[in-house]
Amino acid sequence: MNIKTRKGFDINLAGKAALQLGAAEQSETFAIKPTDFVGMHRPKVVVREGDVVKAGTPLFFDKQLEKALYTSPVSGEVVEVKRGDKRKLLEIKILADKQIEYENFTKYSVSDMANLKGEDVKESLLKSGAWINIIQRPYGIVANPDETPRAIFISAFDSNPLAPDYDFLYKNEGQYFQAGIDALKKMVDVPIHLTTNGNAEVSAIFQNVRNVEQHTISGPHPAGNVGVQIHHIDPINRGEVVWTIAPYGVIQMGKLFLDGRYDASKKIAVVGSEVTTPQYYETYIGAKVGKFLKNNLKQDHVRVISGNILTGTAIEKDSYIGFYDNIVTVLPEGDRPRFFLSDGWLAPTSRLSFHRALGLLSFLNPKKERVIDTSLNGEERAFVETGVMEQVVPMDILPLQLVKSIMAEDYDGMESLGIYEVIEEDVALCEFVDVSKHRIQNIVRQGIQLLREG
């Protein structure tokens, strides 16, 4: 299927990563944070401080989903099990070995893959930690292995601001990607939809993949969001479950079967206007970002974000990258008052805006790469403006009405207005353009939470 979308908005930020691998010292510690897994019920830790682990050794599991293990990305010593209020598990830190050792999982040759059994695939994925790459919709949570999805969706590009180039990230990993797809197909015999960018050249590794249904989508962000693709290819209805996996997860599954190990190595992009040399680095899941930022920042008053600027999480400069994230973005903090006549709400400005209201001139130069700070640019107000959110959601969904139904805790309304089809990232642009400065993503998650509990 060739999908074309018109709605959306490309945010062109300064600080794109150059297509090169930076040479930075590897970080000494790595951490897995249960908070990265949205909707995790209650993590149960299975290691203690001082334990020695290998890459693929279980660290904890979710009491509501005991089969899926969350494992260590590297080998080394568990140096801290950090807890917060009410003993809430915050992170498990591992001091990494110089040479990574791996837990052994069954290894298959390319020809063996044909004899792979679905049950074995599932067991390996669950035990190794590769399973948690599978996200289920509705809800956007780690998939339940006891359910069979209607289909699997993979978005083969990222349209978010400053998104990494998948071609660069996954160069030479085509055979693993194929093996991952084959394994998934063995496990659940459902259509696997792979959607590539219709506006750009398709990466080699996605071009000739077998066992998938190929689609293209062209349009502004959020065309790369898997939720948008699902909506156009085969939308989710009440009572249905589909799975989504990022290409990284599929490749990791491929490595699990072809190499017999849980390989958490990944390339990450360090980007943003405040980064001196925005480029890629090779590391592992859960890396401490400090090493990549050391001597690499233009100034100190910055916000470091694990993930992209639309959906990411602010972290400390020496904190750890989120489990699913492959970029670290650094922006200037915007915590300064702006006088209304010089650069405030009445003054003409070239700061980025989707709108063209009085003095908002950025539309004159849409291609310009911009430096944007984290200012809220206003205050929270009642919903007054209508019709704007609709312009950035390329789905047959009424975002404002959906948000209002969530705020009113109207369960029927939420369901029938399409809450099963969206997660935070799909409404991130709504949050960006909202004149009334509401936390739309947070509201949508609250709605999802209500439905999960209800």
Partner 1 sequence: MKFLHDILEKQKPMFEKGGKLEKFYYLFEAGESFAFTPPTTTPAKGAHIRDAIDLKRMMMTVVIAMVPALLFGIWNVGYQHFLATGNPDAALLDIIMVGTIQVLPIVIVAYTAGGIVEVIFGIIRKHPINEGFLVTGLLIPLVMPPDIPLWQVALATVFAVVIAKEAFGGTGMNILNVALTARAFLYFAYPTDISGTVWTYLGEGGAKNAVDGYTGATALSIAAEAPVGTSVDTALQSATSGWAGAESLFSFNNMLIGVIPGSIGETSALMALLGAIILIVAGVASWKIMVSGVVGALVMGLIFNLAGSTPFMQMMPHYHLIMGGFAFGIVFMATDPVSAAQTETGKWVYGFFIGLLTVLIRVFNPAYPEGIMLAILLMNVFAPLIDFYVIQANKNRRLKRIHV
What residues between 304 and 343 interact with partner 1 by CB under 8 A?
305, 309-314, 329, 331, 333-340, 342
Least distance from partner 1 to the Cβ atom of residue 411, Å: 13
Q: What angle do CA 53, 57, 59 make, to 5 degrees?
A: 90
Determine how many CB atoms are found less than 10 A away from the CB of residue 290: 18
Output 114 or 341, the one with its CB closest to partner 1: 341
User: Are 425 and 231 contacting, i.e. CB atoms less than 8 angstroms apart?
Assistant: no
Least distance from partner 1 to the Cβ atom of residue 87, Å: 22
Does 241 contact partner 1 by CB under 8 A?
A: no
Structure tokens, 150: 């209607």
What is the per-residue DSSP string for 201-269? PPPHHHHT-SSSEEEEEESSTTTT-HHHHHHHHS---TT--EEE--HHHHHHHHHHHHHSS---EEEEE
- Which amino acid type is present at position 137? R
Give the SS3 label for residue 330: strand
Give the SS3 label for residue 97: coil
Among 435, 446, 450, 451, binds partner 1 (CB under 8 A): 435
Among 104, 207, 211, 237, binds partner 1 (CB under 8 A): 237
Structure tokens, 113: 């893959």
Among 375, 410, 449, 451, binds partner 1 (CB under 8 A): 375
Does 274 contact partner 1 by CB under 8 A?
A: no
User: Rounded to the nearest 10 degrees, how much is the dihedral formed by the CA atoms of 385, 391, 397, 400?
Assistant: -10
Does 6 contact partner 1 by CB under 8 A?
A: no
Among 64, 136, 199, 349, binds partner 1 (CB under 8 A): 349
Among 11, 151, 162, 217, binds partner 1 (CB under 8 A): 11
Output 180 or 332, the one with its CB closest to partner 1: 332
Report the distance separating Cα 322 and Cα 307, nearest Å: 7
Report the distance separating Cα 16 and Cα 35, nearest Å: 28
Q: Which of 432, 445, 423 is nearest to 220 (CA)?
A: 432
Pairing relation of β-strands 76-83 and 52-53? antiparallel
Among 153, 220, 354, 414, binds partner 1 (CB under 8 A): 354
Structure tokens, 352: 């980025």
Does 432 contact partner 1 by CB under 8 A?
A: yes
Report the distance separating Cα 373 and Cα 303, nearest Å: 9
Among 36, 158, 165, 431, binds partner 1 (CB under 8 A): 431
User: Under rule CB under 8 A, which residues in 385-404 are in contact with partner 1?
Assistant: 385-387, 390, 396-398, 400-401
Does 235 contact partner 1 by CB under 8 A?
A: yes
User: Rounded to the nearest 10 degrees, how much is the dihedral formed by the CA atoms of 387, 393, 395, 398?
Assistant: -40
Among 64, 100, 282, 383, binds partner 1 (CB under 8 A): 383
Among 25, 85, 201, 379, binds partner 1 (CB under 8 A): 379
For partner 1, which stretch binds (CB under 8 A), given 16-24, 85-93, 122-130, 438-446? 438-446
Does 362 contact partner 1 by CB under 8 A?
A: yes
Among 293, 424, 426, 447, binds partner 1 (CB under 8 A): 424
Least distance from partner 1 to the Cβ atom of residue 137, Å: 15
Build a one-symbol-per-residue string for 116-155: x at contacts with partner 1 by CB under 8 A, - elsewhere.
----------------------------------x-----
User: Are 444 and 423 contacting, i.e. CB atoms less than 8 angstroms apart?
Assistant: yes
Among 14, 90, 433, 450, binds partner 1 (CB under 8 A): 433
122, 136, 150, 152, 421 from 240: Cα distances, Å: 20, 10, 7, 12, 10
Does 282 contact partner 1 by CB under 8 A?
A: no
User: Are 444 and 404 contacting, i.e. CB atoms less than 8 angstroms apart?
Assistant: no
Structure tokens, 167: 């071609």
Q: Give exposure, 239-257, as e/b (b: 16+ Cβ within 10 Å).
A: eebbbbbbbbbbbbbbbbb
Give the SS3 label for residue 413: helix
Among 48, 109, 382, 454, binds partner 1 (CB under 8 A): 382
Among 23, 114, 364, 376, binds partner 1 (CB under 8 A): 376
Pairing relation of β-strands 327-332 and 265-271? parallel
Report the distance separating Cα 79 and Cα 69, nearest Å: 20
For partner 1, which stretch binds (CB under 8 A), given 53-61, 185-193, 241-249, 377-385? 377-385
Least distance from partner 1 to the Cβ atom of residue 365, Å: 13
Output 167 or 390, the one with its CB closest to partner 1: 390
For partner 1, which stretch binds (CB under 8 A), given 14-22, 121-129, 200-208, 430-438? 430-438
Least distance from partner 1 to the Cβ atom of residue 334, Å: 5
Least distance from partner 1 to the Cβ atom of residue 418, Å: 6
Output 179 or 402, the one with its CB closest to partner 1: 402
Least distance from partner 1 to the Cβ atom of residue 310, Å: 5
